[in-house]
Amino acid sequence: MTESNLREPGQRVSPKARLMWLLGAGLQSALVLFLVVSAGTWWGWFDLRWWQLAVLVAVLATYVGVVPAWRYRVHRWEVTDTAVYTQTGWWARERRIAPMSRIQTVDYAEGAIARLFGLASVTVTTASSKGALEIAGLDRLRARTLVDELTLKADAVAGDAT
């Protein structure tokens, strides 16, 4: 594949994924805040000054405000006749391509928070040492359709090879 063929995948995840990621980031931040306040005030492990708490709250609020929008802007996917493409990342972007001929399994999963929003993830496992490709934040029906589509395409490619 040449450099010009490595383009950004064309499909975005569901817009509802932003809400799912917002809730996830909010729960993570609330847990961090609870643990820090518990350790500093109730358990007395360290002195927690008001300004330290204010800084922590500002950092956590920024995290909750930025992460969902950033993830939605970056996370993309695409399926062609020959491969599955994904793009993920935070500071560094990672684009991965899995040829249909290398697909070993295609999995469908719904986490507890994803289920609240009618979302699911599709994981494509290959023989790559980099691990599986995951497309998180798809509408449940689209994810099920994608699993069927990828299974049929990978099976067709495997059938052509024999």
User: What sign does the CA torsion over 100, 101, 102, 108 have?
Assistant: positive
**Amino acid identity, position 132:** A
Name the one residue in this structure whose structure tokens are 């847990």.
31
Q: Name beta bridge partners: 93.
A: 89
How many whole angstroms separate alpha carbon 41 and alpha carbon 37? 6
> What are the structure tokens assigned to 102, written together?
């290398």
Digitized pLDDT (tens) for each residue of the chain, 162 residues in all: 444 466 789 999 999 999 999 999 999 999 999 999 998 887 778 888 899 999 999 999 999 999 999 999 999 999 999 999 999 987 788 999 999 999 999 999 999 999 999 999 999 999 887 889 999 999 999 999 999 999 999 988 877 765
Question: Do residues 137 and 75 lie in contact, with contact meaning Cβ atoms separated by under 8 Å?
Answer: yes
How far separated are the first and last CA of the chain, in Å rounded? 24
91 phi/psi in degrees, rounded to 5: -80, -45
Q: What pTM value is reported for the model?
A: 0.81
